[in-house]
A and B are shown apart, each in its own frame.
Chain A
Amino acid sequence: MRGFAITVLMGLRMYVRDRGAVFWGIAFPLILMTLIGLAFGRSGTPTYSVAVMDRDAGLLGQGLVAGLRSVPVFSIAEISDTDTALAQLRQGRLTLVVVFPPAGSGEPVRAYFDQSRSTDGQTALVILERFVAEANLRLAGAVPTVRVQATGVAGRVQLRFLDFLLPGILAMTVMQTGLSGVTYVVTTYRQRLILKRILATPAHPAAFLGGLVGRYTLTSLFQMAVLIAVAVLVFHAKIVGSLATLAALVVVGTLAFVGMGFAISTVSSTPESANLLGSAISFPMMFLAGVFWPREFMPPAFQPVINLLPLTPLVDVMRAVSARGESLVPYLWGLAYLAVWGAVSFLVAARRFRWE
């Protein structure tokens, strides 16, 4: 028991002193989260940059500009020259350029958009047309008889991309701890004859191996806490489900993937080859299992393989809890499948484990 406790304690000290472990466990997932969040993360309501030129400069024109400013999704800049604005439109820095004609000239309101980015342009155009239609009604003194009130629905909560990404990153970090961290550390201890030295003590070797499992469980929880804290405080990510459930899932995932790490470490003789093998397994798995995007995005031919990966059920259940606040019940089979992976891995490791 003392051997177990000291292995956990000294393991944590070594973790804190190991810049590599802290980088892969904390900095790397944070960098991924930031970069992928920046690349794909759109906040729930987009804003469109609109440049407005008011050729009327009278009451009507000023009223229209003021009206446009009150449209929440428009960010309005007034301009006096369309050439510069059109150039900015072509560069993608504006979504729409709007020109209000002088009052009474009979000219239409002109709107320019970039055809190469037609989705944003069309959306902004529709909003503009609706705005103009409403302005006409108001100018005619009509009271609208039919109104629409729109309410956004996205399941139980509005899902931002980061809320979707965070649980995936957490699951990925758990996997990396087992497949890269454990394999590297165990093979290093074996190569340096540290394992043999421990075997030369009267203690049961399970005390040390159990201590390693305990150490990785605690570092996984610590990494989860840091990642969640940064995601929530800095990126305003939302976690709907319970943190305790997430922590329990991190523990289950860590146990399973640490088992796989032990199993891989029995195949490799050097830390370098163990690390390579761990990465060769974990990197494709991380892209296939839906860490960064829904796994349905992958081609149908891949789906049967994806369903067999041990990371898939972990990503699914962590996302269900974190992003949607779902109950664990529909995911118990997936968790059982992950547990089988872990149990088989520990059995393989126990049979094949070499101390030197």
Chain B
Amino acid sequence: MAIVTVRDLYKRYGSLVAVDHVGFEVAAGEIFGILGPNGAGKTTTLEILEGLRRPDGGEAIIDGVDVFRSPREVRARIGVQLQQSGFFERLTVEETLVFFGAFHRSTLPVADVLSRLQLDDKRQSRVSTLSGGQLQRLSIAVALIHDPRIVVLDEPTTGLDPQARHALWEVVEAFRREGRTVILTTHYMEEAQHLCDRVAIMDHGRIVALDAPRALIRAHAPKTTVAVTMGDGVIAFASLPGVQTVEQANGEVMLSTSDPLQTVQALLELRSRGQAGFHQLRVEEASLEDVFLQLTGRRLRE
């Protein structure tokens, strides 16, 4: 059962079409990702869902409420984390949550929210003293203060170091365990692949593909790479079963194969027969990055 239904959203700024007939559904309890480069229209799409922007066409129903007819009612049902949202520098973390809590009908206890985002020890700290990761956690704490069933996160990990990013991934995974629905945008393919049940790949305002990460890879980047670190002997890589291209890089031979099982088996047989010596063998599946490259002809981060 879809808790979020988006149909045919359209938004233009002058001659620039920011959101070009976007439609998708999000199931209750699902973690739904929108993956795309900067300027793809991810944030505009989210801000239309949050009722912060009026679309030029289309409709969005969230938890049974029409976003454009009752934006405030929708905002009572969703938790919003804005990209680079600022807070009052002269308030403490706790005061910030109390402040935003007062703008909702009911709230979770502030102490609970703080401990869930590991901000307990920053309770009395001024917002101006927080690190990037702490600010981002505060931003999510504010989104969570009224215990929403649906949480909308706009690039929650952009600009964070890997450690802070993984801490936020854990927060999102906790949302999944609690049965909350999450819609998040990102331009990190690892993040989309790791967190999301389904991913919409967005480019130039359009959704170019939408499915589970693995299904996307299978459909759009089916090749697997088998990497071999060579020892003695010579192997005719190109004639191995499944192999389509052969490249050398960093002392490794990279075989792109449509049938990794067959390719690996052939390699292992060569080795056991003593016909080829190699030290290591690594099998690498294609990633969403390859999917994006396949679909748009460009890399995700350029």
User: Using a CB–CB distance below 8 Å, which chain A residues touch chain B?
Assistant: 2-3, 5-7, 10, 13-14, 17-18, 192-194, 196-204, 207-208
Produce 1/0 per residue, B119-153, CB < 8 A to A. Answer: 00000000000000000000000100000000000
Give chain B residues whose Cβ lies under 8 Å from the Cβ of A193: 82, 84-86
| Contact status of A200 and B75, CB under 8 A, knowing A13-B90, A14-B88, A17-B90 | yes
A196 and B103 contacting across the interface, CB-CB below 8 Å? no
A201 and B100 contacting across the interface, CB-CB below 8 Å? yes
The closest CB in chain A to the CB of B98 belongs to A6
A200 and B90 contacting across the interface, CB-CB below 8 Å? no
Interface residues in B, total, Cβ within 8 A: 24
B88 and A6 contacting across the interface, CB-CB below 8 Å? no
**A-B pairs under 8 A by CB, number:** 69
B104 at the binding interface (Cβ < 8 Å): yes
B52 and A13 contacting across the interface, CB-CB below 8 Å? no
Produce 1/0 per residue, B87-108, CB < 8 A to A. Answer: 1101100010011101111000
Which residues of chain B (47-86) have a CB below 8 Å from chain A?
A: 50, 52, 72-73, 75-76, 80, 82, 84-86
Q: Smallest distance from the beta carbon of A255 to chain B beta carbons, Å?
A: 23
A10 and B99 contacting across the interface, CB-CB below 8 Å? yes
17 extra interchain contacts, Cβ-Cβ under 8 A, other than A5-B102, A201-B75, A202-B75? Answer: A3-B102, A6-B103, A10-B91, A10-B98, A13-B90, A13-B95, A17-B90, A18-B90, A194-B85, A194-B88, A197-B80, A201-B100, A202-B72, A202-B73, A202-B103, A204-B72, A207-B103
Most chain A CB within a 10 A radius of its CB, from B84, B85, B95, B103? B103
The closest CB in chain B to the CB of A10 belongs to B99
B91 and A201 contacting across the interface, CB-CB below 8 Å? no
Choose one: B50, B87, B88; the contact of A200 (CB below 8 Å): B50
A200 and B99 contacting across the interface, CB-CB below 8 Å? no
Chain B interface mostly? loop
The closest CB in chain B to the CB of A204 belongs to B72
Chain A interface mostly? helix
A14 and B91 contacting across the interface, CB-CB below 8 Å? yes
B82 and A201 contacting across the interface, CB-CB below 8 Å? no
A287 to B203 CA separation, bound complex (whole angstroms): 58
The closest CB in chain B to the CB of A197 belongs to B85
Give chain A residues whose Cβ lies under 8 Å from the Cβ of B80: 197, 200-201
A37 to B52 CA separation, bound complex (whole angstroms): 53
A207 to B88 CA separation, bound complex (whole angstroms): 17
The closest CB in chain A to the CB of B70 belongs to A202
The closest CB in chain A to the CB of B87 belongs to A194
Give chain B residues whose Cβ lies under 8 Å from the Cβ of A6: 98-99, 102-103
Give chain A residues whose Cβ lies under 8 Å from the Cβ of B76: 202
A208 to B105 CA separation, bound complex (whole angstroms): 15
B95 and A10 contacting across the interface, CB-CB below 8 Å? yes
What are 11 contact pairs spanning A and B, CB under 8 A?
Answer: A3-B102, A6-B98, A6-B99, A17-B90, A193-B86, A194-B88, A197-B87, A200-B52, A200-B75, A200-B82, A201-B103
Give chain B residues whose Cβ lies under 8 Å from the Cβ of A208: 103
A264 to B163 CA separation, bound complex (whole angstroms): 43
Give chain A residues whose Cβ lies under 8 Å from the Cβ of B98: 6, 10
Give chain B residues whose Cβ lies under 8 Å from the Cβ of A202: 72-73, 75-76, 103-105
A199 and B52 contacting across the interface, CB-CB below 8 Å? yes
Q: Smallest distance from the beta carbon of A343 to chain B beta carbons, Å?
A: 27
Give chain B residues whose Cβ lies under 8 Å from the Cβ of A192: 86-87
A14 and B75 contacting across the interface, CB-CB below 8 Å? no
Among all A-B residue pairs, the 8 with the closest Cβ atoms? A192-B86, A6-B102, A202-B76, A201-B103, A203-B103, A200-B80, A2-B102, A14-B90
Give chain A residues whose Cβ lies under 8 Å from the Cβ of B142: 197
Most chain A CB within a 10 A radius of its CB, from B52, B86, B95, B142? B86
Q: Smallest distance from the beta carbon of A104 to chain B beta carbons, Å?
A: 82
A203 to B75 CA separation, bound complex (whole angstroms): 9
